[in-house]
Amino acid sequence: MPRTLILECNNKVGETVTVSGWVHVRRDHGKIGFLDVYDRTGTIQVFCTGDKLGDIRPQDVVEISGIVAQRPEKLINPNIPTGKIELQAETVKGISKAHELPFDMGGKDLDLQLPTLLDFRSLTLRHPKVKSIFKVQAALMEGFRKAATELDCVEIFVPTIAASSTEGGAEVFKVDYYGHKAFMTQSPQLYKQMLIPVYERVFTIAHAYRAEPSVTTRHLSESIQLDCEFGFVDFNELLDLLEEVAVKMLKHVEEKCEEIFKEFNLEKIHFGEIPRFTLREAQEIIFKEFGRDNRKEKDLTPQDEIDICKYALEKFDSDFVTITKFPAIAKPFYTMPDPENPEYSLSYDLLFRGVEVLSGSQRVSDYEQLVEAIKSRGLDTKSFEMYLQAFKYGMPPEGGFSFGLERLTMHILNLANVRQASLFPRDMERVDVRLSTLK
């Protein structure tokens, strides 16, 4: 009999069907038993009598034939799309036998310490709530592409192996490239800028590599960035653009992942008009409203980020805040200094619910000025030959921004650690398995 997808069973009450999937849980009640079986479309309750269940256990792949029946009124589960039906099994066939699980996967939450969650990653990803995380991530990506495409951005594919470190700094991974020393790119930054004279507006989804020798809840050694870059724009247009993309992305996710938002007990996102503060204005607010004087710091502290978001939510009904004009010295060489006060820069971060999820800037677009900026950071212009070439032959005012995909996923879902928002996180202790276990 051909396979029926589980969600389709809703339309097959009274019919005999065959479903295939994984056993999520097994519940025995004397001579009868139940399975929850999932496939890509959903989960169905399977009712069994006699010894049909045999040694079936969680994660077994099974093929079950039986009759789709309405559940009695009082057994209806309103929380799942197949909550009104069950499958009354006639035959239960094992397709692939799972080894005994190292921990229980049947609970609503998967209460495991992070190392265990990652040591058994191929298994723990199957838990419904973990699965949901990466459905949100896929929806974020879809929303991003939709927003960028609507803004006329062309998708580009840029390399990750480069001859020099992208933005200076020591925290880069070295690659042995046919006997030459090469580096994994810290971002697609330079390449997306080089494409401005080609397409004027571009977007790219890129891997970013940071060899930071630290283990925090916020950093990954390999992560995914969502980048846009726009030509013929000024600073205020850039702020409009980044906010438009962010809002469209998040609205897309909220709409597409409504069920998951419920599963995670998430509050609706507040889409009030996004307030824009310069760093100094934000620090002034922190000082006045929260009593901490950080007015000379180069950046917001983590607590400042939380508090300024709290302020924005109260006063503007917005879960976002845009912070602008960070000190020039704190930003990379390609960041445009503020013409009104070159100590500061035409840079910005977008905060979402207490955390930075995007950063970007107006760029230095003048060739001579860019050469000077590179030199003034002690970098070698020879390392930026192809990049500088793009500016040598006509570059308009331009700028852009970049979202961190894992970090954004993490904060939408209120996860404790960014590693939970990466399918196979890389950090200084782990590449799938713990590095300490490798020769």
Distance CA 265, CA 413 (A): 9
The token duo for 326 is 């960070």
Please report whether residue 12 would count as binding a second copy according to CB under 8 A: no
Q: Are residues 62 and 56 in contact, defined by beta-carbon separation less than 8 angstroms?
A: yes
> Of 27, 93, 131, 270, which lies in the binding site for a second copy, with binding defined by CB under 8 A?
131
Classify 343 as helix, strand or coil: coil
Residues 58-77 that bind a second copy (CB under 8 A): 59-61
Q: How far is the CB of 74 from a second copy (least distance, A)?
A: 32
Residues 325-384 that bind a second copy (CB under 8 A): 365-366
Q: Which residue has the tokens 């580096």?
A: 183
- Cα 191–Cα 401–Cα 160 angle in degrees, nearest 5: 30
Q: How far is the CB of 187 from a second copy (least distance, A)?
A: 14
Residues 385-404 that bind a second copy (CB under 8 A): 385-387, 389-390, 392-397
Please report whether residue 34 would count as binding a second copy according to CB under 8 A: no
Please report whether residue 50 would count as binding a second copy according to CB under 8 A: no
> Of 34, 103, 199, 271, which lies in the binding site for a second copy, with binding defined by CB under 8 A?
199
Select from 80-88, 115-123, 294-302, 327-335 the region that touches a second copy (CB under 8 A).
115-123
Please report whether residue 93 would count as binding a second copy according to CB under 8 A: no
Smallest Cα–Cα separation from 330: which of 351, 345, 349, 308?
Answer: 345
225 vs 283, which CB is nearer to a second copy?
Answer: 225
Please report whether residue 260 would count as binding a second copy according to CB under 8 A: no
Please report whether residue 245 would count as binding a second copy according to CB under 8 A: no
208 vs 300, which CB is nearer to a second copy?
Answer: 208
Q: How far is the CB of 220 from a second copy (least distance, A)?
A: 9
Residue 54: Cβ within 10 Å count: 10
Select from 169-177, 300-308, 309-317, 329-337 the region that touches a second copy (CB under 8 A).
169-177
E strand or H helix at 376, and its extent?
Answer: helix 367-376
Q: Are residues 343 and 335 in contact, defined by beta-carbon separation less than 8 angstroms?
A: no
Q: How far is the CB of 158 from a second copy (least distance, A)?
A: 6
Q: How far is the CB of 114 from a second copy (least distance, A)?
A: 16
Q: How far is the CB of 164 from a second copy (least distance, A)?
A: 9
In the beta sheet, which residues pair with residue 144? Answer: none
> Of 159, 291, 339, 378, which lies in the binding site for a second copy, with binding defined by CB under 8 A?
159
Select from 74-82, 83-91, 149-157, 261-269 the region that touches a second copy (CB under 8 A).
149-157
Q: Which residue has the tokens 């990803």?
A: 125
Kindly determine how many residues on this chain lie close enough to bind a second copy according to the rule CB under 8 A: 91
13 vs 95, which CB is nearer to a second copy?
Answer: 95
Give the amino acid at 159: P
Q: Which residue has the tokens 């001859």?
A: 163
101 vs 329, which CB is nearer to a second copy?
Answer: 101
79 vs 178, which CB is nearer to a second copy?
Answer: 178
The token duo for 61 is 């792949």
Smallest Cα–Cα separation from 348: which of 339, 357, 366, 195?
Answer: 357
Please report whether residue 247 would count as binding a second copy according to CB under 8 A: no
Residue 346's contacts (CB-CB under 8 Å, 6 or more residues apart) are 235, 324, 325, 335, 336, 337, 338, 361, 362, 399
Please report whether residue 313 would count as binding a second copy according to CB under 8 A: no
Smallest Cα–Cα separation from 198: which of 371, 336, 385, 394?
Answer: 394
Smallest Cα–Cα separation from 111: which of 132, 136, 98, 129?
Answer: 129
